[in-house]
Amino acid sequence: MKKTGLILSSLALCAAAVIGYAGNVVTIKGSDTIVILAQRWAEKYMGAHAGTTIQVTGGGSGVGISALINGTTDICSSSRPMKTSERDKLKQRFNSLGVETKVAKDGLSVYVNATNGVKELTLDQMKKIFTNEITNWNQVGGKDAKIVVYGRENSSGTYVYFRDFVLGGKDYSPLMQTLPGTAAVVNAVAKDPLAIGFGGAAYAKGINQILVKKDAASQAFAPTAENVKNNVYPITRYLYFYTRSAPTGSIKAFIDWVLSAEGQAIITEVGYFPVK
Amino acid sequence: MSNTTQPVLKARFRLDEFLFEKSIATVAVISCVFIVLILLFVMRESLPLFLGKALDDIGPVKLSRVFDFSWIPVSNNPHYGIIPLFVGSAKVTFIAIFIAAPIAILAALYTTSFAPKWSKEILKPAIEILAGFPSVVIGFFALIVLASLLKNIFGWQYRLNALVGGVALSIAAIPIIFTVSEDALNAIPKTMVEASYALGATRWETAFFVLLPSAMPGIFAALLLGIGRAFGETMIVLMATGNAALLSPSLIDPVRTMSATIGAEMAEVVFGDAHYNVLFFIGVCLFAFSFTLNAIAELFVRGMLLKKMRGQ
């Protein structure tokens, strides 16, 4: 009996897959930050809605936006808002400025080694550390030792976001060691007592997360779900879905589901923060 | 009936043999064609730089901006200077060869002239298996274990630096240098060794003053191949060197190599952008460098060593 059930259910699954393929296909392309999240959404959604297939690809926010402009994806996922120049291109092609949906929030954490005495930094101090103006931990209340700066590769959205938001668009110190992936940064910081690095809050394990202050006078906040949700943690960003025009049909159904309680619950499992 | 043997000696046309021969020849030609096509592709993608047609947000990118001293390609004011990358590659390669060469050459000398048969039978395959060792595993080992170990011993500022990368890279270079040197040492006629013994030389003297000097061109070729391998290696340096595009003479500062830059940045660069063209230009440089090294190595082995051994 059990065996028959198994065979039947696998047959049903195959059938569902075939029907799914024949049915609606929604493509999502863009940010590598969102790709894990979007995949989880797609899996859960396809499990419940047999008629729709969601295809998720990464490549970076820029790649996703060009795909949206070129008409090769239905939804573009992006970890930054679209630029005016990109909106203009979209308008030329499709006579539409694109429709933005905020689907999740991400808080960038700044990590130091667990043995480091420095617990909190202001945005300005971080800017100076990452642009090589502050080079010693004693300038920010730590012990007398040189700071070792780690960061992400310049191909990542995190690199650009941190540079624009914290560094005010200035270039990183040439001394910054860039590592492939947030996990590598976390690993390096965990092994190096003098290190500082940044990355998504999703990966922060085995190190101290710095409490961030907007300026010297303000209160310091940890990158917790509560603080990110209430917009008090200074380094937060939205994660977006873009469509060319107001979503309809299966695209609308999917985006609505993402914003529903069920879809938003998955965000926390992956390690980002819900918008609702 | 003919009474000459002529028709018997004349090769008969056999279709199966003909087809087999031609298909093998085609395969051989295809591999050459692929290399040429890859080269053409890489060159074509870097061509806008030479024509002055490469554009980024602040204007045209000329070759003069490629020979700059800082590498900040993703920036509001981008710099595409590949000089620090070249220096980085050179530093790491130098360290790797400095460590790998003595070990590999002495190991080759040991297996050819000192090792008993059983130890030779273990050593040789063991070192050759190292050549097939996945470089990502070596890189991972360097990143997790070697970097911490060396930092604890020497207490230097940067955990990941050129020296860590170089040490890890030497693991990849040793088998190549060893194998080619060993072949060079084995190619030396037995008569030379026997003559040396006959003159009363000891095994040490024979190995160091007869075998080693006569195999020099081959060993030189082995070194060049080792340099080529180290220069082009990507994964190990990407993981173990810290990837900071610094222009410094220190061997214990982090470095960013040419190959690691392509490896890290190619995946997400905007196609057709100046940054994309520059990455391909780095590819052309790497290709030219390893092509030259391999050509010299090949010429040395073929041209000098063999001639010398044949007494021409």
Query: How does pLDDT run across B100-139, given as a tens digit for each residue?
Result: 999 999 999 999 989 999 999 999 999 988 888 899 999 9
Inter-chain CB proximity B238 and A191 less than 8 Å? no
Maximal C-alpha separation, chain A:
72
Average pLDDT over residues A147-176: 88
Q: With 90 as the cut, is the pLDDT of residue B156 above it?
A: no
What percent of chain B shows pLDDT beyond 70? Answer: 93
Q: What is the pTM of this model?
A: 0.78
Which DSSP state fits B267? G
Average pLDDT over residues B285-303: 85
Residue with tokens 């667990």: A114
> Which of A10-14, A164-168, B297-301 bottoms out in mean pLDDT, i.e. has the lowest?
A10-14
Tell me if A179 and B243 make a contact (CB, 8 A cut-off). yes
Residue B187's CB is within 10 A of a number of other CB atoms, namely 14
CA gap B23, B203 in Å, rounded: 50
What percentage of residues in chain A have a pLDDT greater than 90?
A: 34
pLDDT band of A276, cuts 50, 70, 90: confident
Percentage of chain B lying above the pLDDT 90 cut: 52
Per-residue pLDDT, A93: 87
pLDDT averaged over every residue in chain A: 84
Is the Cβ pair A191, B269 closer than 8 Å? no
The H-assigned helical ranges of chain A are 2-22, 32-48, 61-70, 84-94, 123-130, 157-165, 182-191, 225-229, 249-259, 261-270
Q: Per-residue pLDDT for A127 more than 90?
A: yes
Give this complex's ipTM.
0.77
A-chain residues near B151 (CB < 8 A):
192
Residue of B72, B238, B264 with shortest CB distance to A171: B72
Residues 6+ apart with CB under 8 A from B207: B109, B113, B114
Give me the residues paired with residue A177 across strands: A150
Q: What's the CA gap between A272 and A202, in Å, rounded?
A: 6
pLDDT above 90 (res A207)? no
Query: By the 8 A CB rule, do B242 and B147 touch?
Result: no
- Give A248-257's long-range contacts (Cβ < 8 A, gap of 24+): A249/A24, A250/A24, A250/A26, A250/A51, A250/A52, A251/A26, A251/A74, A251/A75, A253/A49, A253/A52, A254/A26, A254/A41, A254/A45, A254/A52, A254/A54, A254/A75, A255/A75, A255/A101, A255/A103, A257/A45, A257/A49
State the pLDDT confidence band at A19, using cuts at 50, 70 and 90: very low
The Cα B168–Cα A231 span in angstroms is 45
Q: What is the pLDDT of residues A31-41, one digit of tens each?
A: 877 888 899 99
Q: What is the pLDDT of residue B131?
A: 85
Strand partners, B187: none
Residues of A in contact with B268 (CB under 8 A): 32, 59-60, 62-63, 155-156
| pLDDT at residue A16, as a whole number | 46
C-alpha–C-alpha distance, residues A60 and A197, integer Å: 21
Q: Is the pLDDT of residue B58 over 80?
A: no
Give the A:B interface size as CB pairs under 8 Å.
74
Give the residue on A whose Cα is nearest the Cα of B74.
A154
| Residue pLDDT, tens place only, B131-152 | 888 999 999 999 889 998 999 9
Q: Give mean pLDDT, residues B204-218.
A: 90
